[in-house]
Amino acid sequence: MRDTFIEELTKIARNDPNVLLLTGDLGFGVFENFRKEYPKQFLNVGVAEQNMSMIAAGLALKGKRVFTYSIGNFPTLRCLEQIRNDICYHDLNVTIVSIGGGFSYGALGMSHHATEDLSIMRALPNITCVAPSSLEETKDATFQLYKKKGPSYLRLDKSNASYDKSENFILGKALKVREGEDVTLIAAGGVLQEALKAAESLEGSSITSRVLSMHTIKPIDEDAIIEAVKKTKGIITIEENNILGGLGGAVSEVCMERNLRPLFFKRLGMRDEYSSVVGDQDFLRNHYGLDHVSIATHVRKLLSDI
């Protein structure tokens, strides 16, 4: 996803000198071509993410279209006050890019596990929050966030899902990547690949799964959620994030405010805990019950309990 993002941003910068990329002393190999081709559109601010956010706000006030970049929690939680007070309050054209969503940097421990960012960033007024699931979604999201006015958060993953795309990517509109009638699996980010594997395995038990890539957490696609409640028996959300306030919280809010009651509803994610275990992304998904085997097990149990 990281490489896809910078490839698309390079194309955008070629035609718009107002596009600026700021990094917190990271991504040198990835940004090498961008830096050489557009030296006046690239700035390494050093290990100073709070300053990076304030610089981005100042540049945006002067008409620039700014992208800030760092890994895990560094471009978000480390400088939350600056994002809130400087970028979001003034509704500025700044996209905060975090590479390393969820357990992407699993071997580096909880300081590098981004498992609260979706909840926290979603709570900020004016901001659009996007967690693409595939490389193609990443490309489309980068371009559409560039065209969109106002602050945005782009959460990129080390993993990515692969599926046959039949719908156009539109911010705020979920992508239906698989049809089914028994359960709806709603995922954000690369963990969509686990939902797709679960859906495939469930077919052997004659269970059909609707799978949605809810790439935009805010604004969330209410129509897709309403349709899922009406046309399938229940909903399971999957996210490499705390279940409090993240994707699962957003989906449940839509259901409750619309007085919709699926036959079952389950949020899969971090259950109000820190990811204290160290390991690669696949290992951590398995440990915290976000792998395809765990998802399929939940589906079978919830359907049997109806």
Question: What is the token pair recorded at 209?
Answer: 């799964």
Listed in sequence order, the residues at least 6 apart from 63 whose beta carbon sits closer than 8 Å to its beta carbon are: 18
Amino acid identity for residue 165 in this structure: K
With left for phi above 0 and alpha for psi between -120 and 50, is residue 38 left, alpha or beta? beta
Interior/surface letters 275-303, b for 16+ CB within 10 angstroms, e for the rest: beeeeebeebbeebbbbbebbbebbeebb
137 included as an active-site residue: no
Listed in sequence order, the residues at least 6 apart from 212 whose beta carbon sits closer than 8 Å to its beta carbon are: 174, 175, 176, 177, 184, 185, 186, 187, 224, 228
Q: Which residue among the candidates 37, 49, 227, 239 is catalytic per the annotation?
A: 49
H/E run at residue 142: helix 135-147
Query: Are the beta carbons of 231 and 106 closer than 8 angstroms?
Result: no
How does DSSP classify residue 266? E
State the pairing for strand pair 209-213/175-178: antiparallel
User: Reading across the β-sheet that carries 264-270, which strands appear in turn?
Assistant: 175-178, 209-213, 183-187, 234-242, 264-270
Phi, psi at residue 305, to the nearest 5°? Answer: -85, -10
Alpha-carbon torsion angle 81, 85, 86, 87, nearest 10: 90
State the pairing for strand pair 128-130/65-71: unpaired
State the pairing for strand pair 42-44/19-23: parallel
| Catalytic center residues | 49
